[in-house]
Amino acid sequence: MNMKLLKLLNKNARYSLEDLAVMLGESEDEVAKEIDQMEKDGIICGYKPVIDWEKVDHAYISALIELKVIPKGGLGFEEVAERVMKYPEVESVYLMSGGYDFCVIVKGKTFQEVAMFVSKELSTIDSVTSTATHFMLRRYKEMDVDLYGGMTDDRGNFLL
């Protein structure tokens, strides 16, 4: 596994093979092979753009749902996770340490839609004992990308 390659792709998945090869000091063939292998090994699981949905009409809104569950005998948390992740409304599911068990990111067109989804679908799952819904109001930074425009170059122009 090539850690430097992964870091570069994590920064920008759309680098050309040529750029990647140059930046890593490897041949394009080598880089292509490494990427291919990491895809096969399930290390690289997909490629997606970082979208500022606020700038899109009919944008999505997202909510972070805290799920508390009582895991079923012998099955642990996996069964619940599998059930939750099958919903197309669910973007991410994480098992958490701390005050609750699952962090579920849900997207929908309106607050109402998301709230209904939580109360009708998530909270009715057998092992789920409670839910807490937190709507995301604004995204400042998403996957390392500044969506806010707060990071400006304030270096002066003089000869150093």
> Which residue stretch of 10-18, 46-54, 77-85, 140-148 sits at the interface with other proteins (rule: CB under 8 A)?
10-18
Tell whether residue 19 is a contact of other proteins (CB under 8 A): yes
Minimum CB distance to other proteins smaller for 24 or for 61? 24
What is the distance between the alpha carbons of residues 49 and 140, in angstroms, rounded to a whole number? 16
What is the distance between the alpha carbons of residues 95 and 91, in angstroms, rounded to a whole number? 14
Tell whether residue 153 is a contact of other proteins (CB under 8 A): yes
CA distances from 22 to 19, 35, 90, 141 (A): 5, 15, 38, 29
> Which residue stretch of 21-29, 97-105, 129-137, 140-148 sits at the interface with other proteins (rule: CB under 8 A)?
21-29
Tell whether residue 143 is a contact of other proteins (CB under 8 A): no
Tell whether residue 47 is a contact of other proteins (CB under 8 A): no
Given a contact cutoff of 8 angstroms between Cβ atoms, the answer to whether 110 and 102 are in contact is: no
Tell whether residue 160 is a contact of other proteins (CB under 8 A): yes
Ordered DSSP codes for 96-133: -SSS-SEEEEEEESSHHHHHHHIIIIITTSTTEEEEEE
Tell whether residue 74 is a contact of other proteins (CB under 8 A): no
Q: Which parts of this chain interact with other proteins (CB under 8 A)?
A: 4, 8, 11-12, 15, 19, 22-25, 153, 155-160
